[in-house]
Amino acid sequence: MTRQELVSNIKSKSSFLCVGLDTDLSKIPAHILSSDDPVFEFNKMVIDATSDLCVAYKPNLAFYESRGPSGWKSLEKTMDYIPDDIFTIADAKRGDIGNTSKMYAKTFFEYFNFDAVTVAPYMGEDSVTPFLEFDQKWVILLGLTSNEGSTDFQMLKTSTGMTLYESVIVQSQKWGNPGNLMYVIGATHPQLFSEVRQLAKEYFFLVPGVGAQGGDLEAVVKNGKNDDMGLLINSSREIIYAGDTPDFQNAIRQKALTIQGEMSKYF
C-alpha cells in the first residue's frame, strides 16, 4: 500500500485506528472454541465488526507462531479475509543479519502479503535495509516503545549527545523515507511526542499503549499529529476482548466506534 492510499483511507474514514489481533485462545468467548479454527473464527468476527471503523490490522505473530502449523494457517486465513484496502502489519519485531532479514521480508511481504512489518534496529543498517527493498511495503522500526523496560536502553545517551532512540530515528532516515518507513512510538511517553515529531516530521508513527496500557489519545494527537495525521493508534485488548458473551461482537463494535468517534474530532 502506498502512503497516498493510506492517507486517503484515514481521511475517508476519519479514523487512524489500528486493531491488534492478539488472539489468545484462553481469552476468546468459550462458545467459539468448538469451531474448526477458533482463532480464525474469532478474528473473522472482529474484522466484521470493525473493518469500516479502522484503517489497519496488526496480528501479533507470537499468538500464531505459538500454535505451530495450525497457528500459521489461522494467520494465512485471517490475511485472506482482511479487506484489500486496509493496511496490514505483521507485528514480528524481526532483526537479524542481511540474508536472514531478506528471508523474513519474503515471508511477510511475499507469502503473507503484509503491507508492513515491525523491525528491531539493534543490529543496524544491514539488518533493516533488506526489508526496504520491496515496492509499496513498509518497515515499522522500533523507536521508543511503550513497555516499562523501554528506559533500560532507549533513553541512554550516546556519544552524539542524543539518546539511543533519538539516534535510531535520525540515523534510519538515511535508509528509508516517509513512503516506506514508520516508527513505533509508545503512547506511554506523551511528554516526548513533540520532540520525536520534530525528529521525524513527515513520518508515520505506530502508537501502542493507548487504552489498556494507560496512554492518552488526546495527548498523543496533540503532540504527534502532522499534516497527514501521521499516526496509527493501535488498540488490541481493549477492543477485541470488550465482551465475552455470545453477543460479544456488539461490544467489540461499540468499543471501536467509541474510539473512532474520538478520533473523528481531529479531522
Q: Which residues are catalytic?
A: 93
Place of cell 543496524: 124
Residue 220: in which H helix or E strand, if any? helix 217-224
Place of cell 511477510: 108
Length of the chain equals 267
**Concatenated DSSP letters for 105-135?**
HIIIIIIS--SEEEE--TT-HHHHGGGGGST
Q: Cβ contacts of residue 166 below 8 Å, gap of 6+?
A: 199
Other C-beta atoms closer than 10 Å to the C-beta of 216 total 14
CA nearest to 221, candidates 263, 178, 169, 261: 263
120: exposed, middle or buried (Cβ count in 10 Å: 0-12, 13-18, 19+)? middle
